[in-house]
Every structure is written in C-alpha cells, then in structure tokens.
Amino acid sequence: MSSLHRIRIAEFKAVLAEPKINLAKLRELSFSGIPCEDGLRCLCWKILLNYLPVEQTFWSSLMKKQRDLYSQFLKEMIIQPGIAKANLGVSREDVTLEDHPLNPNPDSRWNTYFKDNEVLLQIDKDARRLYPDMVFFQRPTDYPCRLIMDPQNDFETLRKRVEQTTLKSQIVARNRMGVTNVSSPLKSAAPSSLTEYEPLPNGSEAHWEVVERILFIYAKLNPGIAYVQGMNEIVGPIYYTFATDPNCEWKEHAEADTFFCFTNLMAEIRDNFIKSLDDSQCGITCRMERVYSTLKEKDVELYLKLQEQNIRPQFFAFRWLMLLLSQEFVLPDVIRIWDSLFADENRFDFLLLVSCAMLILIRVQLLEGDFTLNMRLLQANQAPGAHYNIFIFHLPPSPTLCSLL
C-alpha cells in the first residue's frame, strides 16, 4: 500500500469518526474514489445514499429497525403466499374454503399470487444473467436467508416458484389398447436452460437469488413501476459491494441494507425507468438531449459529426444514463465511477458530464469513423469500457466537476 493511499484511508477515517459527519467533506473525499479497505466504501455509500443519517449515534438502532422491517416484508410478501402454495402440494385442502386457486375474485390472494409470478418471471430471467462474466453472482452466499431457507419450514424459494410457474406441456397419446399415455417431460432427464448453472444443494442459495428477492420486494412495494429491465444492473454493484464487506456483521445484512440503499437510489432515478415520463421534463429523453447540448457547447465539431451521421443519443446514451454506466465498464470500474456519482451533490449532473467526456475522449476515432464504426465504438458491448481505461485511472485527485471537460 502506498503511503499516499494510507493517508487517504486516514482522511476518510477521520471524517467518519466524527459524531456528526460533515457531509460536504465526505462528498468531496468520496468524489475522488473511496478506498475499499476496512469497509469504508460500504459505510460511505450508505451515508451518501441517505440510508444512514450523519449522526452516528442513530446508526445501530436505525439499521436494526430497517433490517427487522425487511424481514417483515419477506414474511408478508414471500413466505406467506409460499405457505399457501406449499400446503397445496402436501395435503389436499378443501377448495370450498374462502380462497382457492380458481377463485375468480380479483382480490383473491391466489389471484395476486399468479399476477406476482408474471413479474417474478421477468425478474428471474434478468437476475440469472446479471454479470455473467463474473463467478460471484453464481456462487452461494454465506448468509442464505434463514427465514426462507430453514429446511424445517420447507418454504418455497422464489427460484422454485418460477420453476413451477413455467408448466411443461405433456404429450397425451392413446394407444390402440385405449390406454392413455402421458409422457411427462419431467421424467426425461433433459438439461434445461434453467439449469445452465449448477443447481446449489438445498439450504443454500446463490447471490443472484438474493438480488432476485430484493427486486421482487421492491416490485411488490412499488407496483406503479414494479420491475423494469435494467434495475438488476442497479442493484448488482450495490449488493456486490455490501456482500463483500470485510465487516462480517454488515456483510450478513447485505440483503436488507442493499434493499434500502437501492430504494433510495431509485427514488432519485426512477423517472428514467418510467415510459410515460419519457417525453416529460424529468424523463430520460430530456436528459439524453442534455448530453448532446452539453457536447455542442464543449465540442461543436464532434457534435456536428454525430448529427451528420444521424447518430442519435438514443443509440447509446439511453443505456449509459438509465443504468448509470453499469453496462459500459467492468464491475470494479463501475463501482469506482459510482463513488463519484453518489458523491455528486446535484445528482446526477455529473453523469451527464461523464457521458459527454466519454464522447470527447474518443473524438479522434469518432471524427474519422463512419456510421458503423462509430456505432460499434459507442455501443462497445463486446469490450465494455475498453476505450476508457485511461479515463478511469487518471481521474485527478481532487477534481472540480468541470475540470474533467
């Protein structure tokens, strides 16, 4: 560890040791990158995302309260409907009881259960394909959700719930003897897409399943927005950071803490996810236009080139802004960039400047390239962030926002 880095860590620790944390000072320090040592980043993100207040005395009671609240959400939204379902498989219930799976009443709990499964199916597809290049999300967590995974209770996990939702068709063949033959695909030992990843033994769950649960609870609590593709890419880096926290007590509660930090972050960026706001003042179209209007101010030649080639910000800036650049870089770089984004007082103005800088940094190639080459450069999904390594590692130690441009 360089002495400079040691000094930085000491600076962070000094700021974080204050009984009442100086938020302006913490923002300024965090903007140039937060050291990952001693769980500093986890703590700073929790403060910057307004999960923890600046007064330290409240931290432990607040976290306990929030973690309990999250357990409550799990009980209400995952376990209780799961019990009903699990019971059905175990013993035959009297379906004349007030609620049953064929109940046509829209308020029926079963009806809600089936509707939830549609959202869950979508979440499941995306949670499984979160950071496929990294082994982390496929690995079992050290802290599987005890409430759900306790083998004595036999609760239904979300993963199992999804597997049951996708019913398989059965081929019914009647032979000449009149015997009906139902060939169940369940019997054939064919590999399926759902088992692309090695299934984990009972009682353990992979990190992606934790992410899935966080997204499902969020969707249940926010039915107006529910789940929009890309939210998984917002949860991913936060969860990864918290679930690798050297502080074991905090690491154990990564799920609940991630949920609340994600919820707070979404409160600030949710407009980007809402289709009906696309063309409003606060929608993403307006923000994409701002990337181009800023570019026009800073580099009119490049701006005109992109205009002339009819390369619209929708082609690339949509993803950059909506996902806070999380698909453009490898995870460690994303996390480093998010230090600065979260430290930005006028969230997320800095993101617009970074997006603009990302264009200007490859201006030479863009000015020479044709439409196809430039689209490849800008979408760069084969090698995320490949052009920008220089940019990340050369962030000045204490930049003001505009010195980057």
Partner 1 sequence: MAKKTYDLLFKLLLIGDSGVGKTCVLFRFSDDAFNTTFISTIGIDFKIKTVELQGKKIKLQIWDTAGQERFHTITTSYYRGAMGIMLVYDITNAKSFENISKWLRNIDEHANEDVERMLLGNKCDMEDKRVVLKAKGEQIAREHGIRFFETSAKANVNIEKAFLTLAEDILRKTPVKEPNSENVDISSGGGVTGWKSKCC
Residues that bind partner 1 (CB under 8 A): 122, 125-126, 129-133, 166-169, 185, 188, 190, 192-193, 196, 228-230, 232-233, 273-275, 278-279, 308-310, 314-315, 318-319, 322-323, 327, 370-372, 375-376, 379, 381
Alpha carbon 111 to its chain centroid, in Å, reads: 28
Structure tokens at 105: 């009443």
> Among positive and negative, which fits the CA dihedral 391, 396, 397, 402?
negative
CB of 195 to partner 1, least distance (A): 11
* 250-289 as b/e: b if 16+ CB within 10 A: bbbbbbbbbbbbbbebbeebbbbbeeebeeeeebbbebbe
CB of 292 to partner 1, least distance (A): 16
Give the separation between CA 125 and CA 166, rounded to whole angstroms: 12
Give the separation between CA 35 and CA 21, rounded to whole angstroms: 18
Nearer to partner 1, 232 or 258 (CB): 232
Nearer to partner 1, 57 or 166 (CB): 166
Contacts of 349 (CB under 8 A, 6+ apart): 401
For helices 80-90 and 109-128, the axis angle rounded to 10 degrees is: 100
CB of 349 to partner 1, least distance (A): 21
CB of 187 to partner 1, least distance (A): 10
Nearer to partner 1, 126 or 205 (CB): 126
User: CA Rg, the chain, in Å?
Assistant: 25
Contacts of 81 (CB under 8 A, 6+ apart): 109, 112, 113, 116
CB of 133 to partner 1, least distance (A): 8
CB of 375 to partner 1, least distance (A): 5
Nearer to partner 1, 78 or 162 (CB): 162
CB of 105 to partner 1, least distance (A): 23
Amino acid identity for residue 189 in this structure? A
21: region left, alpha or beta (phi > 0 left; psi from -120 to 50 alpha): beta
